[in-house]
């Protein structure tokens, strides 16, 4: 991989060391009133400053230099060879306002820049509404004759900057870069630099993300002041200020707009480099787009995050370096489902909710190695995307995302939740939103902008989404991640993304549309406590607690494995797990907050991720589950593969079609009869019969021996049309299952519509029950667990439980244990169970407890009261397991006499894996009452 930083590290460290020799830690002291302005440098010894002890230390805490912290070049996208870091020890004091800068006045404390003052690494470790920073610097003599720029990575929130008593300006915005040309304010020798900061956090309407003065739970310690690198660089008067790079794969080049100061209309020359070799050159003018050819481009992706180098020369002498990845972004109807695309192909976005907090540096990673570590670990786990959650990171974070190959959803830091934003707050939000987008247009890894989260501070969401799309039409816009949740305003219906949050989940409540992809923007939040590695405050939080690492891993694998069904059956295109590390009271990470303990078995985590990604590329199907195969050929996507009179064909089938048609179009996906790495499709309503090819035609037949097992085995391949799944005959290479004139054959590529006809969407089953109950009949459900099989499910005082009931029991007990089977409220391929002695009342789950309730005619009730009959988890003739429709994977389960919907190994007591299969298996018995 080409390193695009300027020069070699040896050269950078030499430059830094030379600069530090004359300026690090230097303080300005007034000798006497008569000597006002006559300054002398006093060296502050390193031993005089010590960072405070953080509540938790990370492996990098002790590696932080008090002389030269974060020494890496801070701006990999606009590099120059000469620069001087101003990170290090500054003077510090709290203040009452920003109107009285301490010019020529020593301050009483020391702070380590660039760590926010609330952090232990800063040495302050407290909050201030107003504060002043002060230090001196000396401009290297080799910079003579050039302008000097003073650059700030980020200061939260409002800052004023003075050099030698001259106010350079006021900046507002806690997450964006800013610079001042300080040439006119400089003098020979030592120069005084003062930075004043006001940070109201959530007491004012400003973008704050997760920061809160009243921290706790999901709200975290605020961070104030200078929190990214401060540095000097010499430039020409006419200088480049930004490179807006847009890869144009279809045109075979890089579209570039060079932004510059004091250089209107000047010509620029740009060179693209691969491995140090120039591969393309073009000339344009400042402020106008021009294209540099990139022949035979090597495309950037998570699998191959190749980066090109970029060198741009401005007439007049300014030369800067940079980098970019060639890639295209978009959305397309693939396999009959709208999908996000990377380089023209569906790229499932498997991500984490990365919040970027550190116990020692709060918002600022202690070292660059630490910053890289978080991203490297997520990449190693098999994630392909990171959702940077309502925080904007340093340029180096984005550099590592680009270089490691992780797609990024970039959130806008939210205004405070729970209140309507003021006019001033809206103005600030939109100004900072524009800055965030403008400053990051050249980041290869960013694939999606997210202006709002769960409605926090939300207003005019439709207009904001359209505005963001106008500012950057090259990326997808997610108007509000979690628009089904919390403070969200009604979904305006625009943007490119439908984004549901579901804890524990995963899941989505809405299908993708013709214009918007569907993602699960947050799920998970599984918690595990690790004593000795927790933030030392009360109120620990997770969405579900697990007792140990094995149980946590089991549960993670279980819930994340559901993504396979959601991708295939519900059109899911992305998911975000909460979260990579614990954060303060939130204990739901893969790592503890100090990054010292892995809380899960990472090999098993990676394994389930590979299965999920396999489902997205069409090669992994859900086994021993029901599914239907939908046609993806344009104009025929309402047709499904079904068997009729023994022949396979396609027909238009809907949820309103007859039960026979829906069952004929539903199959159990089994491991392949001839090759367990492939698949066989068993008829839902004719057990033991499979789809098989015979003389190229496809039938639904019972095993006849001979070549049957091979004929009935199909290997899943990436969809030939670019999405979905294609099914290749295991014993006839190059022959695929395809429909033709409503008939189903195996065939070679014959051109025409073949690639569409041979691509199938493995979708949610048209008939969801894998076992049957008798609609309209009265039935009772007997426990099958050994030693308790004289007990029956019954309701008592409205709650479901199990009791010993016999033909000699009181009539009321026998009636309580008897139910009339009805077609499911929310899905007629499932069932609802009506009490015989309380007509109009049905079994439903609420708070996981199974109970008897009256039908209130709401959608939620109808979902909670619908259960799909499935083959018994513990086997046995006449037995059945009842699965919740809206909580897939949760079954009726008796536990300590009470009855719940429970999942094997979940975080609730009643989810205990012991005896789960038996406890969740019921005998479909004759009615007791």
Helix (H, G, I), strand (E, B) or coil at 607: helix
Q: How far is residue 452's CA from residue 487's CA, in Å, rounded to a whole number?
A: 11
Contact between 23 and 92 (Cβ < 8 Å): no
pTM: 0.90
Residue 40 pLDDT: 31
Chain position carrying tokens 């003739």: 877
Nearest CA among 477, 482, 523 for reference residue 499: 482
Say which residues have a Cβ less than 8 Å from residue 62's Cβ, sequence separation at least 6: none
Using CA atoms, how far apart are residues 789 and 787, in angstroms rounded to an integer?
6
| Domains within the chain, CATH numbers bracketed | 61-232 (2.60.120.260), 239-317 (2.60.40.10), 625-763 (2.80.10.50), 777-925 (2.80.10.50)
User: Coil, helix or strand for 249?
Assistant: coil
Q: How many CA atoms lie within 13 A of 468 on its CB side?
A: 29
Half-sphere exposure of 382 toward its Cβ, with a 13 Å CA cutoff? 16
Contacting residues for 809 by C-beta, under 8 A, at least 6 apart: 928
Half-sphere exposure of residue 553, counting CA atoms within 13 Å on the CB side? 16
Residue 843 exposure: Cα atoms within 13 Å on the Cβ side: 36
Q: 905 Cβ partners below 8 Å, 6+ apart? A: 551, 554, 555, 558, 911, 912, 913, 916
Six-digit token pair at 560?
A: 């994340």
**What sign does the CA torsion over 63, 69, 71, 77 have?**
positive
| Beta carbons of 572 and 563 less than 8 angstroms apart | yes
Measured at the CA of 390, the angle between CA 53 and CA 598, to 5 degrees, comes to: 50
Q: The tokens 């367990």 sit on which residue? A: 676
CA-CA distance, 765 to 869, in Å (whole number)?
13
pLDDT at 335: 87
- pLDDT (0 to 100) of residue 336: 86
Rounded to an integer, what distance in angstroms lies between the CA atom of residue 771 and that of residue 868? 8
Which DSSP string corresponds to 158-210? Answer: EEEEEETTEEEEEEE-SSS-EEEE-GGG--SSEEEEEEEEE--GGGSSS--TT
For residue 298, give the DSSP letter. Answer: -
Q: Which of 26, 107, 52 is nearest to 362 (CA)?
A: 52
State both tokens at 683.
């008829």
Question: Which pLDDT belongs to residue 14?
Answer: 33
Among 431, 464, 423, CA closest to 157: 431
H-helix or E-strand spanning residue 89: strand 88-95
Mean pLDDT split into 10-residue runs, the chain, 929 residues = 34 33 28 28 52 97 96 96 97 96 96 98 97 98 96 98 98 98 97 98 96 95 98 97 97 97 94 96 97 98 98 95 98 93 96 98 98 98 98 98 98 95 97 98 97 97 97 97 95 97 94 97 97 95 95 96 92 97 98 98 98 95 94 95 95 94 97 97 96 97 95 97 94 97 96 96 94 96 96 96 95 96 96 97 96 95 97 96 94 97 92 95 96
Question: What is the reported pLDDT for 178?
Answer: 98
Alpha-carbon Rg of the chain, whole angstroms?
32
What Å distances lie between residue 829 and 507, 521, 766, CA to CA? Answer: 20, 30, 8
Of the candidates 689, 674, 602, the one whose C-alpha atom is nearest the C-alpha of residue 642 is 689
CA distance 524 to 580: 11
Q: Please, are residues 530 and 551 in contact by the beta-carbon 8 Å criterion?
A: no
Of the candidates 897, 907, 795, 808, which has an alpha carbon nearest to the alpha carbon of residue 853?
Answer: 795
* Tokens 């993708």, located at residue: 512
Q: Is 10 helix (H, G, I), strand (E, B) or coil?
A: helix
166-172 vs 158-163, strand pairing mode: antiparallel
First to last CA, the chain: 74
**How far apart (Å, rounded) are the C-alpha atoms in residues 541 and 848?**
20
Euclidean distance between CA atoms 273 and 268, whole angstroms: 16
Strands 736-740 and 743-747: antiparallel
Residue in the structure block whose two tokens are 């954060």 = 583
- Asked if the peptide bond before residue 814 counts as cis, ω within 30 degrees of 0, the response is no
Rounded to 5 degrees, φ, ψ at 481 are: -70, 125
Q: What are the pLDDT digits (tens) for 175-222?
A: 999 999 999 999 999 999 999 999 999 999 999 999 999 999 999 999
Q: Dump pLDDT digits (tens) for 510-531.
A: 999 999 999 999 999 999 999 9
Output the furthest CA–CA distance in the chain (Å, rounded). Answer: 109
Of the candidates 870, 792, 874, 862, the residue with the CA atom closest to the CA atom of residue 823:
862
């Amino acid at each position: 991989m080409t390193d695009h930083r300027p020069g070699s590290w040896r050269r950078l460290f030499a430059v830094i060391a030379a600069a530090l020799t004359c300026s690090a830690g230097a303080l300005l002291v007034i000798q006497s009133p008569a000597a006002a302005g006559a300054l002398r440098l006093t060296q502050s010894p390193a031993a005089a400053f010590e960072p405070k002890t953080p509540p938790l230390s990370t492996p990098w805490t002790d590696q932080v230099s008090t002389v030269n912290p974060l020494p890496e070049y801070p701006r990999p996208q606009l590099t120059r060879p000469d620069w001087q870091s101003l990170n290090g020890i500054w003077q510090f004091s709290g203040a009452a306002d920003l109107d009285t800068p301490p010019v020529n006045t020593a301050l009483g404390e020391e702070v380590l820049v660039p760590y926010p003052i609330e952090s232990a690494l800063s040495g302050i470790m407290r909050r201030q509404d107003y504060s002043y920073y002060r230090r001196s610097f000396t401009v290297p003599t080799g910079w003579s004759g050039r302008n000097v720029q003073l650059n700030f990575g980020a200061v939260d929130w409002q800052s004023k900057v003075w050099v030698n008593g001259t106010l350079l300006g006021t900046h507002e915005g806690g997450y964006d870069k800013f610079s001042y040309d300080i040439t006119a304010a400089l003098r020979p020798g030592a120069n005084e630099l003062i930075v004043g900061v006001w940070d109201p956090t959530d007491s004012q309407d400003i973008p704050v993300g997760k920061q809160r003065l009243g921290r706790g739970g999901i709200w975290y310690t605020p961070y104030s002041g200078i929190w990214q690198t401060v540095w000097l660089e010499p430039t020409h008067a006419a200088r480049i200020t930004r490179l807006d790079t847009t890869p144009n794969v279809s045109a075979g080049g890089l579209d570039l707009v060079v932004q510059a100061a004091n250089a209107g209309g000047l010509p620029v020359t740009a060179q693209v480099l691969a491995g140090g070799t120039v591969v393309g050159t073009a000339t344009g003018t400042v402020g106008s787009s021009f294209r540099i050819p990139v022949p035979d481009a090597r495309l950037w992706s998570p699998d191959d995050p190749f980066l090109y180098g970029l060198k741009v020369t401005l007439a007049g002498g300014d030369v800067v370096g940079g980098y970019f990845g060639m890639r295209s972004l978009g959305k397309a109807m693939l396999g009959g489902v709208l999908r996000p695309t990377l380089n023209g192909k569906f790229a499932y976005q498997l991500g984490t909710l990365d919040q970027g907090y550190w116990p020692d540096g709060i918002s600022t990673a202690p070292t660059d190695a630490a910053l890289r570590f978080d991203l490297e670990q997520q990449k190693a786990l098999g994630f392909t995307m990171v959702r940077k959650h309502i925080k904007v990171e340093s340029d180096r974070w984005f550099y590592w995302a680009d270089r490691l190959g992780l797609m990024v959803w970039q959130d806008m830091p939210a205004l405070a939740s729970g209140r309507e934003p003021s006019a001033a707050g809206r103005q600030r939000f939109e100004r900072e939103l524009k800055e965030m987008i403008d400053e990051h247009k050249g980041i290869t890894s960013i694939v999606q902008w997210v202006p709002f989260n769960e409605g926090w501070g939300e207003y005019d969401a439709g207009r904001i989404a359209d505005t963001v799309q106008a500012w950057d039409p090259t990326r997808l816009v997610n108007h509000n991640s979690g628009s089904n949740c919390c403070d969200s305003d009604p979904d305006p219906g625009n943007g490119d993304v439908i984004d549901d949050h579901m804890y524990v989940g995963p899941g989505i409540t809405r299908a993708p549309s013709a214009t918007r992809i569907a993602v699960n923007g947050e799920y998970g939040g599984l918690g595990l406590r690790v004593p000795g590695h927790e933030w030392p405050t009360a109120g620990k939080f997770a969405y579900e607690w697990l007792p140990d690492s094995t149980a946590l891993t089991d549960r993670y694998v279980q819930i994340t494995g559901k993504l396979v069904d959601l991708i295939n059956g519900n059109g899911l295109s992305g998911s975000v797990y909460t979260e990579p590390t614990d954060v303060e009271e939130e204990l739901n990470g893969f790592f503890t907050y100090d990054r010292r303990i892995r809380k899960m078995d990472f090999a098993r985590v990676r394994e389930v991720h590979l299965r999920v990604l396999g489902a997205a590329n069409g090669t992994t199907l859900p086994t021993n589950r029901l599914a239907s195969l939908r046609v993806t050929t344009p104009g025929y996507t309402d047709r499904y593969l079904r068997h009729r009179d023994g022949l396979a064909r396609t027909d238009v089938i809907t949820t309103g079609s007859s039960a026979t048609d829906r069952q004929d179009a539903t199959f159990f996906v089994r491991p392949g009869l001839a090759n367990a790495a492939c698949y066989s499709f068993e008829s839902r309503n004719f057990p033991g019969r499979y789809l098989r090819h015979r003389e190229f035609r496809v039938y639904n037949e019972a095993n006849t021996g001979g070549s049957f097992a091979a004929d009935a085995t199909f290997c899943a391949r990436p969809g030939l049309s670019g999405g979905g799944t294609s099914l290749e005959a295991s014993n006839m290479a190059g022959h695929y299952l395809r429909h033709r004139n409503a008939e189903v054959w195996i065939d070679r590529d014959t051109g025409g519509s073949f690639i569409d006809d041979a691509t199938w969407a493995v979708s949610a089953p048209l008939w969801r029950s894998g076992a049957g109950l008798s609609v309209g009949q009265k039935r009772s459900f007997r426990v099958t667990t050994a030693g308790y099989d004289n007990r029956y499910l019954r309701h008592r005082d409205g709650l479901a439980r199990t009791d010993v009931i016999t033909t000699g029991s009181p009539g009321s007990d026998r009636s309580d244990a008897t139910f009339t089977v009805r077609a499911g409220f929310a899905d007629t391929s499932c069932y609802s169970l009506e009490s015989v002695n309380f007509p109009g009342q049905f079994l439903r789950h609420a708070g996981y407890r199974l109970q008897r309730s009256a039908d209130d005619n709401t959608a939620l009730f109808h979902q909670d009261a619908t259960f799909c009959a499935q083959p018994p988890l513990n086997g046995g003739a006449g037995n059945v397991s009842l699965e919740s429709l809206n909580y897939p994977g949760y079954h009726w389960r008796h536990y300590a006499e009470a009855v719940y919907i429970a999942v094997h190994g979940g975080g609730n007591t009643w989810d205990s894996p012991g005896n789960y299969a038996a406890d969740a298996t019921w005998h479909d018995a004759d009615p007791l009452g």
